[in-house]
Structure 1
Amino acid sequence: MENQNRTPFAFGKRNYQIMLLGLAVMAIGFILMAMDSEPYGYGFLGLTLGPIVLMVGFIIQFFAIFAKPRKDV
């Protein structure tokens, strides 16, 4: 007996939207680190702000993976 309600995707639409948000935040973090004008990225952007934004992006990805998909969508 097959289950007709199964989707071919591992995650729901909401999960993929949160993942895209997380990827965008991570990209902003990498861009901030690259914009640092100090040599070897030893300024505020390269050592403080960029890594914090990048970590926020990884946390968003974590929640995107573990968020339960909605049943009504």
Structure 2
Amino acid sequence: MGEQKRKKQNELHRSSFIFKKKNYKVMLIGLGVIALGFILMSGGGSDDPNVFNPEIYNWRRIRLAPALVLIGFGIEVYAILLNPDKNKNTN
């Protein structure tokens, strides 16, 4: 009897997905934030290698973009750990 129960539970677990729709939405938001950070980090170079362009040390490239990338990775970790099936009325 117990073995049949375990087999039935294993079949149920195999057919279900680990993440739900809410997890994937949060993951897409995190990927968007990471992509935005990398886009903001790009540029600032010079066409002539003998000419220095101080735009490479712009606040946007040094502070804002890496912060956005780290925030995006934090959102990804949150999306993985998020449990959308958790009941909010647990007393």
Tell whether the structures are fold-level matches, with TM greater than 0.5: yes
Q: Say whether residues 1:48 and 2:63 are aligned partners.
A: yes
**What runs of 5+ residues in structure 1 fail to find an aligned partner?**
none
Between the aligned residues of both structures, percent identity stands at 38
- State the distance in 1 between where 2:80 and 2:72 align: 13
**What runs of 5+ residues in structure 2 fail to find an aligned partner?**
46-52, 87-91
Moved segments of 4+, more than 4 Å? 35-40
Question: Per-residue CA shift, 1:7-65, capped at 9, x if unaligned?
Answer: 53221111111000000000000011114465583211111000111111011001001
- State the distance in 2 between where 1:58 and 1:50 align: 13
Q: Say whether residues 1:17 and 2:25 are aligned partners.
A: yes
Tell me how many residue pairs correspond in the alignment.
72
Q: Say whether residues 1:8 and 2:9 are aligned partners.
A: no
TM-score normalized by the length of structure 2 = 0.64
Q: Say whether residues 1:34 and 2:42 are aligned partners.
A: yes
Tell which structure's C-alpha radius of gyration is larger: 2
**RMSD over aligned Cα, in angstroms?**
2.6
- State the distance in 1 between where 2:24 and 2:64 align: 26
Compare 40-49 and 9-18 and name the one that shifted more: 40-49
